[in-house]
Amino acid sequence: MSESTPPTSEEPRQTAPDATAADAHGTRPAASGGPAPAPDDPDASTVDYGRPFTVEFDPTGEEPPVIDPSELAALEPVSETTTRVRRVQPLVDEPSGVVARYLFPTERYRGEWRHHPIFLATPITVAVVATIGIGLGGGFLQAGMGAGWVAPLAFLAWLGVMGWVAWKVAYWHFERFILTNKRVMVVHGIITRHVAMMPLERVTDMKYEQTPLGRILNYGTFVLESAGQDQALREVAQLPNPNELYLRVVEEMYDPGAVEARLDRSGDGADA
């Protein structure tokens, strides 16, 4: 009995696609069982992950991170108008005659300020009340007593009150808070002049206080502390724009180089 041998016909083998031809078209051969990408397909070589970023196809199969353009907005340079800080302007750009005599040659003048006009609230109130009160009181006394000395006496009293009011106004006009690159000063007094100062390097603490009325009218009281026990300058009341003035003093204390650079730029711009 003869044994039948199975047919030994060889099955045709599938040849792999030509790698050279695939690389020439910039495409990868498709996996077995899948169609090969068209050579002219524009999405076969690059993958678009959103404008304006176009990322080359990664042969490792890992997708690059998608970057939102809004995330890069913080890296763009900020315009100067955005970073500009509102500064309280001094009375004059150059030291006045009241202040110049107290500055030494190597000192850089930063500004001088008067008290807030709220300082004059009491003298003006006294002047108004005195004018009305003395006028009405003197008129009633003159009519009731019929004495000729009432009117001159009332006038002299009114002149005395007005003299005190004028003194307070002159005191407000000549008193100054001064800031330089080395110290803060307060100059006050009409007949007797007082000059109090504190070096910026000795200031250990500084604060300002605002009452409810001060917050409405924008004034406050500065309080300075130093390492020494006996301070010639500790409290300055009723200064205008306390927040901006506080920033000026603190910047002068901790970053004087930035102040000098900003003033030099502004000076160059003015010369141009």
From residue 235, alpha-carbon distances to 123, 186, 208, 238 in Å are 22, 10, 9, 10
Tokens representing 196?
A: 């109090």
- Specify the residue for token string 């690159």: 181
Residue 24 lies in a domain: no
Q: Which of 174, 197, 215 is the C-terminal boundary of a domain?
A: 174
Residue 65 lies in a domain: no
Give the pLDDT of residue 135: 85
Give the pLDDT of residue 17: 47
Letter string b/e over residues 96-118, b meaning 16 or more CB atoms within 10 A of that residue's CB = eebbeebbeeeeebbbbbbbbee
- Specify the residue for token string 């000059």: 195
| Same domain flag for 161 and 237 | no
| Same domain flag for 165 and 185 | no
Phi-psi region of 231 (alpha: psi -120 to 50; beta: other; left: phi over 0): beta
| Same domain flag for 267 and 223 | yes
Residue 7 lies in a domain: no
- Specify the residue for token string 């899948």: 34
Q: Which of 174, 195, 215 is the C-terminal boundary of a domain?
A: 174
Q: What type of residue sits at position 24? A: A
Is the previous residue joined to 256 through a cis bond, with omega within 30 degrees of 0? no
Residue 33 lies in a domain: no
| Same domain flag for 262 and 158 | no
| Whether the Cβ atoms of residue 227 and residue 261 lie closer than 8 Å to each other | no
Residue 81 lies in a domain: no
Report the Cα 142 to chain-centroid distance in Å.
61
Residue 265 lies in a domain: yes
Q: Which of 153, 174, 195 is the C-terminal boundary of a domain?
A: 174
Total number of domains in the chain:
2
Q: Is the dihedral of CA 213, 219, 225, 231 positive or negative?
A: negative
| Same domain flag for 192 and 243 | yes
Domain of 130? Answer: 117-174
| Same domain flag for 101 and 138 | no
| Same domain flag for 122 and 201 | no
pLDDT tens sequence for the chain (272 residues): 444 454 444 444 544 444 444 444 444 444 444 454 555 555 545 555 555 555 455 556 666 666 666 666 555 555 544 444 445 555 557 888 888 999 988 898 989 999 999 999 999 999 999 999 988 888 787 777 766 777 888 889 999 999 999 999 999 999 999 999 999 999 999 999 999 999 998 888 889 999 999 999 999 999 998 876 677 788 999 999 999 899 889 988 888 887 777 777 766 655 55
Instruction: For residue 105, give every residue at least 6 positions away whose Cβ sits within 8 Å of its Cβ, in sequence order, or none.
Output: none
Give the pLDDT of residue 177: 94
| Same domain flag for 261 and 202 | yes
Q: Pairing between strand 203-209 and 183-188?
A: unpaired
Residue 40 lies in a domain: no
Give the pLDDT of residue 232: 78
| Same domain flag for 189 and 261 | yes
Instruction: Kindly report the CATH number assigned to the domain that includes residue 104.
Output: 2.30.29
| Same domain flag for 125 and 214 | no
| Same domain flag for 160 and 214 | no
Residue 69 lies in a domain: no
| Same domain flag for 108 and 237 | yes
Residue 209 dihedral angles phi and psi, to the nearest 5°: -120, 140
